[in-house]
Amino acid sequence: MTLFDQQLDETGLVTIKPTVLEAKGDAFVMDQCLWSINVDLDADLPTFSAGKMICVGPNQEVLESVPLGEIEAFGDCVDAKCSSLKVAGDQKVNMILADDLEFSLQPRNERK
């Protein structure tokens, strides 16, 4: 689900709070993730590509992944050329994964 209403007037990012429909393994970590989707408005139709997914693991570790797969189109074109895209908050975004997600552990800067 998207986090808030926004209107893109050029290439930009949409931030998503992912949910899982089917999963195996440690799917609970997805409850603590944010994911960015790149939106390109330079073509006739918007194109969508996966950006980074950042999660907080059960031991407060920071995990990162870039999902591979196809993102279904979302949002509403504001004009006929779709040079601007309106995305409502709480909009459902679907992605069909091409492969399992693999997370890499990111270094943390501990404050003392």
Q: Which domain holds residue 55?
A: 6-97
Note the pLDDT of residue 25.
Answer: 64
Distance between CA 79 and CA 96 in Å, rounded? 28
For the chain, how many residues are written? 112
Residue 104 lies in a domain: no
Residue 111 lies in a domain: no
Note the pLDDT of residue 59.
Answer: 85
Note the pLDDT of residue 110.
Answer: 59
User: What does the block give as tokens for 46?
Assistant: 């918007």
User: What does the block give as tokens for 98?
Assistant: 């091409």
User: What does the block give as tokens for 33?
Assistant: 């993730």
- Contact in structure between 99 and 68 (CB atoms under 8 Å): yes
Residue 32 lies in a domain: yes
Three-state SS for 31? Answer: helix
pLDDT tens for the chain, 112 residues: list them: 888 899 998 889 999 998 876 666 666 677 889 999 999 998 778 999 999 999 998 888 899 999 999 999 999 999 988 999 999 999 999 998 898 888 899 887 655 5
Note the pLDDT of residue 1.
Answer: 81
Q: What are phi and psi of 109, to 5 degrees?
A: -100, 95
Note the pLDDT of residue 29.
Answer: 72
Distance between CA 14 and CA 48 in Å, rounded? 10
Report the number of distinct structural domains present in the chain: 1
Note the pLDDT of residue 100.
Answer: 86
